[in-house]
Structure 1
Amino acid sequence: MENNIYANLNFADSLSDFKEDVTKLLELKNIEEWSGRIVKEKEETIRQAALVLAGQCIAILLHKLSQSESAHQTAINQTKGWWHTDTQRHGYTKREILTVGNVIVNLKLPYVVQKREKKRRKNLLMLDSVLC
Protein backbone atom coordinates (compact mmCIF):
# COMPACT_ATOMS: atom_id res chain seq x y z
CA MET A 1 0.00 0.00 0.00
CA GLU A 2 1.28 3.43 -0.93
CA ASN A 3 1.79 6.19 1.61
CA ASN A 4 -0.46 9.20 1.36
CA ILE A 5 1.10 12.48 0.24
CA TYR A 6 -0.21 15.80 1.51
CA ALA A 7 -1.12 18.22 -1.23
CA ASN A 8 1.36 20.86 -2.25
CA LEU A 9 -0.85 23.69 -3.44
CA ASN A 10 1.93 25.18 -5.57
CA PHE A 11 1.82 23.90 -9.15
CA ALA A 12 5.39 24.91 -9.95
CA ASP A 13 6.72 22.91 -6.98
CA SER A 14 4.64 19.86 -7.92
CA LEU A 15 5.85 20.04 -11.50
CA SER A 16 9.44 20.43 -10.33
CA ASP A 17 9.15 17.35 -8.08
CA PHE A 18 7.71 15.35 -10.99
CA LYS A 19 10.47 16.50 -13.33
CA GLU A 20 13.13 15.60 -10.77
CA ASP A 21 11.70 12.10 -10.22
CA VAL A 22 11.17 11.28 -13.89
CA THR A 23 14.40 12.78 -15.28
CA LYS A 24 16.43 10.16 -13.42
CA LEU A 25 14.29 7.39 -14.89
CA LEU A 26 14.76 8.63 -18.46
CA GLU A 27 18.54 8.33 -18.36
CA LEU A 28 19.84 5.59 -20.64
CA LYS A 29 22.73 4.23 -18.61
CA ASN A 30 23.97 0.63 -18.75
CA ILE A 31 21.41 -0.37 -21.36
CA GLU A 32 23.32 -3.63 -21.90
CA GLU A 33 22.23 -4.70 -18.40
CA TRP A 34 18.55 -3.82 -18.90
CA SER A 35 15.88 -6.45 -19.09
CA GLY A 36 12.11 -6.43 -19.49
CA ARG A 37 11.81 -6.33 -15.70
CA ILE A 38 13.90 -3.14 -15.44
CA VAL A 39 11.87 -1.42 -18.19
CA LYS A 40 8.63 -2.46 -16.46
CA GLU A 41 9.87 -1.08 -13.11
CA LYS A 42 10.79 2.23 -14.72
CA GLU A 43 7.40 2.37 -16.44
CA GLU A 44 5.56 1.74 -13.15
CA THR A 45 7.60 4.39 -11.35
CA ILE A 46 6.89 6.95 -14.10
CA ARG A 47 3.18 6.07 -14.00
CA GLN A 48 3.07 6.51 -10.21
CA ALA A 49 4.88 9.87 -10.45
CA ALA A 50 2.35 10.97 -13.10
CA LEU A 51 -0.55 9.94 -10.84
CA VAL A 52 0.93 11.96 -7.98
CA LEU A 53 1.25 14.99 -10.28
CA ALA A 54 -2.36 14.51 -11.43
CA GLY A 55 -3.46 14.24 -7.80
CA GLN A 56 -1.60 17.45 -6.94
CA CYS A 57 -3.33 19.22 -9.86
CA ILE A 58 -6.74 17.96 -8.73
CA ALA A 59 -5.96 19.08 -5.17
CA ILE A 60 -5.11 22.57 -6.43
CA LEU A 61 -8.37 22.68 -8.40
CA LEU A 62 -10.44 21.54 -5.39
CA HIS A 63 -8.68 24.01 -3.12
CA LYS A 64 -9.33 26.90 -5.50
CA LEU A 65 -12.99 25.90 -5.81
CA SER A 66 -13.35 25.66 -2.03
CA GLN A 67 -11.95 29.18 -1.65
CA SER A 68 -14.05 30.73 -4.41
CA GLU A 69 -17.09 32.72 -3.28
CA SER A 70 -18.42 32.50 -6.83
CA ALA A 71 -18.25 28.69 -6.69
CA HIS A 72 -20.03 28.71 -3.30
CA GLN A 73 -22.79 30.94 -4.64
CA THR A 74 -23.17 28.79 -7.76
CA ALA A 75 -23.44 25.65 -5.62
CA ILE A 76 -26.09 27.28 -3.45
CA ASN A 77 -28.08 28.39 -6.48
CA GLN A 78 -27.89 24.97 -8.11
CA THR A 79 -28.95 23.10 -4.95
CA LYS A 80 -31.65 25.48 -3.70
CA GLY A 81 -34.32 23.15 -5.09
CA TRP A 82 -33.20 20.45 -2.65
CA TRP A 83 -33.40 22.70 0.39
CA HIS A 84 -36.39 22.61 2.72
CA THR A 85 -38.09 25.79 3.86
CA ASP A 86 -36.28 25.47 7.18
CA THR A 87 -32.78 24.97 5.69
CA GLN A 88 -30.07 27.53 6.33
CA ARG A 89 -26.35 27.97 5.79
CA HIS A 90 -24.57 27.01 8.97
CA GLY A 91 -20.86 27.57 8.51
CA TYR A 92 -17.84 25.61 7.38
CA THR A 93 -16.50 22.15 8.10
CA LYS A 94 -13.05 20.73 7.45
CA ARG A 95 -12.85 17.75 5.13
CA GLU A 96 -9.90 15.64 3.99
CA ILE A 97 -10.15 14.45 0.37
CA LEU A 98 -7.97 11.72 -1.13
CA THR A 99 -7.28 12.24 -4.85
CA VAL A 100 -5.52 10.00 -7.37
CA GLY A 101 -1.89 9.26 -6.61
CA ASN A 102 -2.80 9.10 -2.88
CA VAL A 103 -2.65 12.88 -2.56
CA ILE A 104 -4.58 14.27 0.41
CA VAL A 105 -6.01 17.79 0.35
CA ASN A 106 -7.61 19.47 3.37
CA LEU A 107 -10.57 21.67 2.49
CA LYS A 108 -12.82 24.02 4.42
CA LEU A 109 -16.29 23.58 2.92
CA PRO A 110 -19.63 25.29 3.63
CA TYR A 111 -22.62 23.25 4.74
CA VAL A 112 -26.30 23.70 5.49
CA VAL A 113 -28.56 22.45 8.29
CA GLN A 114 -32.26 22.45 9.06
CA LYS A 115 -33.43 25.01 11.58
CA ARG A 116 -34.74 23.65 14.88
CA GLU A 117 -37.45 26.25 15.40
CA LYS A 118 -40.28 23.70 15.24
CA LYS A 119 -38.95 21.78 18.22
CA ARG A 120 -38.51 24.99 20.22
CA ARG A 121 -42.08 26.03 19.45
CA LYS A 122 -43.40 22.68 20.68
CA ASN A 123 -41.44 23.06 23.90
CA LEU A 124 -42.79 26.59 24.39
CA LEU A 125 -46.34 25.38 23.76
CA MET A 126 -45.86 22.58 26.26
CA LEU A 127 -44.58 25.07 28.86
CA ASP A 128 -47.56 27.34 28.23
CA SER A 129 -50.00 24.48 28.74
CA VAL A 130 -48.25 23.40 31.94
CA LEU A 131 -48.19 26.93 33.35
CA CYS A 132 -51.85 27.59 32.60
Structure 2
Amino acid sequence: MISVVLAVFALNQRAAEVAPKYTPQAFFPGFASDLNKATRIHIESKKNGAFNVDFEPEKGWVLPDRSNYPASFEEVRKTLVGLAALQTIEPKTSRANWLPYIDLDAPPKGNGILITVRDGQNHTLASLIVGKSES
Protein backbone atom coordinates (compact mmCIF):
# COMPACT_ATOMS: atom_id res chain seq x y z
CA MET A 1 0.00 0.00 0.00
CA ILE A 2 2.78 2.42 0.89
CA SER A 3 4.58 1.62 -2.36
CA VAL A 4 1.43 2.50 -4.35
CA VAL A 5 1.14 5.85 -2.58
CA LEU A 6 4.82 6.57 -3.19
CA ALA A 7 4.50 5.60 -6.86
CA VAL A 8 1.53 7.96 -7.33
CA PHE A 9 3.41 10.74 -5.56
CA ALA A 10 6.48 10.18 -7.76
CA LEU A 11 4.37 10.28 -10.94
CA ASN A 12 2.71 13.52 -9.84
CA GLN A 13 6.10 15.07 -9.08
CA ARG A 14 7.46 14.05 -12.49
CA ALA A 15 4.37 15.38 -14.27
CA ALA A 16 4.76 18.71 -12.46
CA GLU A 17 8.42 18.92 -13.49
CA VAL A 18 7.77 18.35 -17.21
CA ALA A 19 4.57 20.39 -17.43
CA PRO A 20 5.17 23.70 -19.21
CA LYS A 21 5.11 26.68 -16.87
CA TYR A 22 2.80 29.51 -17.85
CA THR A 23 2.91 32.90 -16.20
CA PRO A 24 -0.33 34.91 -16.25
CA GLN A 25 -0.02 38.30 -17.96
CA ALA A 26 -2.19 41.37 -18.34
CA PHE A 27 -4.48 40.84 -21.32
CA PHE A 28 -4.50 44.56 -22.15
CA PRO A 29 -1.24 46.08 -20.86
CA GLY A 30 -1.70 49.79 -20.19
CA PHE A 31 -5.49 49.75 -20.54
CA ALA A 32 -6.02 50.45 -16.83
CA SER A 33 -4.33 53.84 -17.23
CA ASP A 34 -6.55 54.63 -20.25
CA LEU A 35 -9.92 53.89 -18.64
CA ASN A 36 -10.83 57.58 -18.39
CA LYS A 37 -10.28 57.92 -22.17
CA ALA A 38 -13.03 55.40 -23.00
CA THR A 39 -16.01 56.97 -24.76
CA ARG A 40 -17.60 53.99 -26.52
CA ILE A 41 -18.17 50.34 -25.75
CA HIS A 42 -19.29 48.33 -28.78
CA ILE A 43 -20.80 44.88 -28.18
CA GLU A 44 -21.70 42.55 -31.02
CA SER A 45 -23.00 38.99 -31.12
CA LYS A 46 -24.68 36.69 -33.60
CA LYS A 47 -27.65 36.21 -31.28
CA ASN A 48 -28.32 39.82 -30.21
CA GLY A 49 -26.80 41.90 -33.00
CA ALA A 50 -24.70 44.98 -32.20
CA PHE A 51 -25.13 47.96 -29.93
CA ASN A 52 -23.05 50.80 -28.51
CA VAL A 53 -22.79 52.39 -25.10
CA ASP A 54 -21.44 55.94 -25.49
CA PHE A 55 -20.17 58.49 -23.00
CA GLU A 56 -21.82 61.90 -23.39
CA PRO A 57 -20.15 64.53 -21.14
CA GLU A 58 -23.46 66.18 -20.22
CA LYS A 59 -25.41 62.92 -19.74
CA GLY A 60 -22.94 60.21 -18.76
CA TRP A 61 -23.12 56.74 -20.35
CA VAL A 62 -26.05 56.31 -22.74
CA LEU A 63 -27.44 53.91 -25.35
CA PRO A 64 -27.46 56.01 -28.55
CA ASP A 65 -29.59 53.49 -30.46
CA ARG A 66 -32.27 53.84 -27.76
CA SER A 67 -32.66 57.63 -27.92
CA ASN A 68 -29.74 58.14 -25.50
CA TYR A 69 -31.41 56.12 -22.75
CA PRO A 70 -29.13 56.23 -19.69
CA ALA A 71 -26.92 53.16 -19.28
CA SER A 72 -26.18 51.74 -15.85
CA PHE A 73 -22.97 53.41 -14.68
CA GLU A 74 -22.29 50.43 -12.41
CA GLU A 75 -22.49 47.97 -15.35
CA VAL A 76 -20.24 50.18 -17.50
CA ARG A 77 -17.75 50.51 -14.63
CA LYS A 78 -17.73 46.74 -14.01
CA THR A 79 -17.16 46.11 -17.72
CA LEU A 80 -14.28 48.57 -18.07
CA VAL A 81 -12.58 47.65 -14.79
CA GLY A 82 -13.06 43.96 -15.57
CA LEU A 83 -11.38 44.35 -18.96
CA ALA A 84 -8.52 46.31 -17.37
CA ALA A 85 -7.99 43.59 -14.75
CA LEU A 86 -8.25 40.71 -17.23
CA GLN A 87 -5.29 38.34 -17.20
CA THR A 88 -4.37 35.41 -19.37
CA ILE A 89 -4.59 32.07 -17.57
CA GLU A 90 -3.22 29.58 -20.06
CA PRO A 91 -3.24 29.17 -23.82
CA LYS A 92 -6.05 26.95 -25.08
CA THR A 93 -5.04 26.68 -28.73
CA SER A 94 -2.81 28.37 -31.25
CA ARG A 95 -4.65 26.76 -34.15
CA ALA A 96 -6.98 29.27 -35.81
CA ASN A 97 -9.12 26.49 -37.30
CA TRP A 98 -10.10 25.39 -33.75
CA LEU A 99 -11.45 28.80 -32.70
CA PRO A 100 -15.05 28.06 -33.82
CA TYR A 101 -15.14 25.08 -31.43
CA ILE A 102 -14.60 27.36 -28.44
CA ASP A 103 -16.85 30.14 -29.83
CA LEU A 104 -13.95 32.49 -30.56
CA ASP A 105 -14.98 33.20 -34.13
CA ALA A 106 -16.10 36.77 -34.76
CA PRO A 107 -19.71 37.82 -35.21
CA PRO A 108 -21.91 38.23 -37.18
CA LYS A 109 -21.22 34.75 -38.60
CA GLY A 110 -19.39 33.33 -35.58
CA ASN A 111 -20.73 32.59 -32.10
CA GLY A 112 -18.23 34.75 -30.21
CA ILE A 113 -19.16 38.02 -28.52
CA LEU A 114 -17.05 40.96 -29.70
CA ILE A 115 -16.35 43.70 -27.15
CA THR A 116 -14.46 46.80 -28.32
CA VAL A 117 -13.64 49.90 -26.26
CA ARG A 118 -12.74 53.10 -28.13
CA ASP A 119 -11.62 56.59 -27.17
CA GLY A 120 -12.94 59.96 -28.37
CA GLN A 121 -10.78 59.81 -31.52
CA ASN A 122 -12.20 56.35 -32.37
CA HIS A 123 -8.91 54.62 -31.51
CA THR A 124 -9.30 51.09 -30.16
CA LEU A 125 -8.24 50.87 -26.51
CA ALA A 126 -9.22 47.22 -26.02
CA SER A 127 -10.92 44.59 -28.15
CA LEU A 128 -11.57 40.91 -27.64
CA ILE A 129 -13.88 38.08 -28.61
CA VAL A 130 -15.43 36.23 -25.70
CA GLY A 131 -16.12 32.53 -26.22
CA LYS A 132 -17.11 29.53 -24.16
CA SER A 133 -16.26 29.70 -20.48
CA GLU A 134 -15.97 25.95 -19.93
CA SER A 135 -13.93 23.47 -21.91
Structure with the higher strand share, 1 or 2? 2
Greater radius of gyration (CA)? 1
- The reply to whether TM is greater than 0.5 is no
TM-score by length of structure 1 reads 0.23
Tell me the TM-score normalised to structure 2 length: 0.23
